[in-house]
Every structure is written in structure tokens, then in C-alpha cells.
Amino acid sequence: MADMEGNIEAKDYGIGTEQSSGSFFLKGNESADWGVKNRLARIFNPKSGNTVMLAFDHGYIMGPTSGLERMDLSIVPLIPYADCIMCTRGALRSVVPPESGKPLALRFSAGSTILTELNNECLIGIEDAVKLDASALAPMVAVGGTFEAKTIENLARCADFTSRYGIPTLGVTAVGKELVRDARYLGLATRVCAENGANFVKTYYCEEGFEKVVAACPVPIVIAGGKKLPERDALELAYKAISSGARGVDMGRNIFQSECPVGMINAVRAVVHDGAKPEQAFEIYRSFLKA
């Protein structure tokens, strides 16, 4: 039992100084629960306000994708440079060292492959997400697809889990082959995710009007990289997205399919966290190539 006698008398009450009400640095999440904010603040760097998420969940749809054949060899060495990893529970348990200490955005829906695409997905059990100490639940949402209603329902269920367990929901907008990735579509898909309870949304960059997509989405947006581009172009894509208001990237192929993945993730970090221009970031990439 604490000593009743001999304690130093309490006297630092800060009289005259208002207790800080503590605003939160990520838009649309000011009213979220402490656990949600705490996990978001692990994913997003509170200093820059941005994040570099490393996505390697492609295998759940695409099988042994180029660069992901041996995730133990290609991905594990990249983890120290990421702010957050995004993967399936299968990849996590089989290759990611528990000591890595990185926040996890857990791929939280399943049921599609490249043979059928954007399918009638189901959600994974929340108990597993809790056991894995997930920092975000990431269900796929296929706005405009045959399974639109089911995937939006999945997102809504995730938002229920967020309310119950304090684990943020990351809405992942999947765009069917028949749909165009323009500002109109992306604006609709991201807004639908936010309105249904996503704490942040992953989508694609578009050349025309991306700043409107970001402005009309009441929670932060991170962009996927998409298909492999020349490194300079991928850095430009990241730069334009950040300049238009995106709060980071959730990038896969443009990192792990690069000739120098460590150089690429460091170059992307410079853009996302330090405001490096594409040319400066490309020099960072090249410096790793030479080394």
C-alpha cells in the first residue's frame, strides 16, 4: 500500500493554465475514441501528418505476384523503412517477424481472385484482428460493382468493430475493370467509404481533379501506387498526390517490383515526409542504386 505519511505534498496544480483539450492532427477523426486516435497516430507520423504504408497483400487476389514470390526475402528487409505494413493474416503469420514492431493494417476481407475479381467478399473474425494487434481493419469496397452492397455492408460492419474495439477502419476502394478511375468515380467511392464509417481511405490518384476528391472526403486519403511505373514517374505520382492533399501512400508494386526496393521506399519517404520534389527524391533513389 502506498505510504500515507512522508509523501511530498501535491502543489503543482497549474492554476491559471487551462487544461489542453487536445485537438487531433487527422481530419475527420477528432471525435474518435482514444484507442482509434492512438492507433492512427502509430500509422500516421504526427510530425509530418503523413504515412508510408507498405502494401503486400496482393497475393490474396493475385497469387504469387512478381516481387512477392518469397516475401521473407523481398518484403521483410523493407519493413524497417515503412511506417505501417498492410498484408493478410496469412502473410503476417508466415513471414513477418513479430519483433518488427510496425503497425499493421490488416487485410480484413477475403473472397476474390484475379479469376473472378471483386467478388462477394466476407469479413475475417474480429478476434483475430485483436489477437494480431491490428492497427487498422482494411476491407475492400467495390463501388459500382456487382457486389457493391455486400462490400459496403462489410465496411459498415468494420466501422461497428471500430466503435467496439477502437481499431480504425481503412476503406480500400477497388475499381472494377469496367469503371474509369476519374475524379468523379473516385470522389464517389471515397466519400461512400467515409460516410459509412471509414477512418481513412485508400484510393488511386487521378490527374484531373484529385484535389477535389481529397477535399470532399471528410477523412484522410492515402493512395495506392498501382501498376509498376518507371521509378521517376512513381515518385512524381506520389508527389502530385501529396501536393493535392493526400496524407500518404499505401504502396506496393512500385516499391517491391523496383530494381532497388530499399532505394525506392526511401525516396518515397522523402516525398511523403520531407516534401522532396520528384527530382530530389529520384536522386535519393539513384544514390541507393549506386551504393
Q: With binding defined as CB under 6 A, does residue 225 bind ligand 5RP?
A: yes
Among positions 250, 258, 260, 285, the unique one binding ligand 5RP when judged by CB under 6 A = 250
Distance of CA 291 to the CA centre of its chain: 30
Judged by CB under 6 A, the stretch of 94-102, 159-167, 208-216, 247-255 that binds ligand 5RP is: 247-255
Phi and psi angles of residue 211, each rounded to the nearest 5 degrees, phi first: -65, -25
271-282 b/e (C-beta count within 10 Å ≥ 16 → b): bbbeebebeebb
Between residue 41 and residue 60, which ones bind ligand 5RP under the rule CB under 6 A? 55, 57-58
Q: With binding defined as CB under 6 A, does residue 168 bind ligand 5RP?
A: no
Q: With binding defined as CB under 6 A, does residue 83 bind ligand 5RP?
A: no
Phi and psi angles of residue 87, each rounded to the nearest 5 degrees, phi first: -160, 175
Q: Taking a C-beta distance cutoff of 8 angstroms, is the pair 100, 130 a contact?
A: no
Closest CA to 211 of 237, 245, 239: 245
Judged by CB under 6 A, the stretch of 25-33, 213-221, 224-232, 235-243 that binds ligand 5RP is: 224-232
- SS3 of 234, please? helix
**Count, residues near ligand 5RP per rule CB under 6 A:** 14
Q: With binding defined as CB under 6 A, does residue 226 bind ligand 5RP?
A: yes
Q: Taking a C-beta distance cutoff of 8 angstroms, is the pair 126, 159 a contact?
A: no
Q: Which amino acid is at 23?
A: S
Q: With binding defined as CB under 6 A, does residue 251 bind ligand 5RP?
A: yes
User: Is the CB of 86 or the CB of 219 nearer to ligand 5RP?
Assistant: 86
Q: Which amino acid is at 71?
A: M
Is 102 marked active-site?
no
Residues near 125 by beta carbon (within 8 Å), at least 6 away in sequence? none
User: Is the CB of 60 or the CB of 282 nearer to ligand 5RP?
Assistant: 60
Positions that interact with ligand 5RP (CB under 6 A): 55, 57-58, 61, 86, 172, 224-226, 250-254
List residues with catalytic annotation.
202
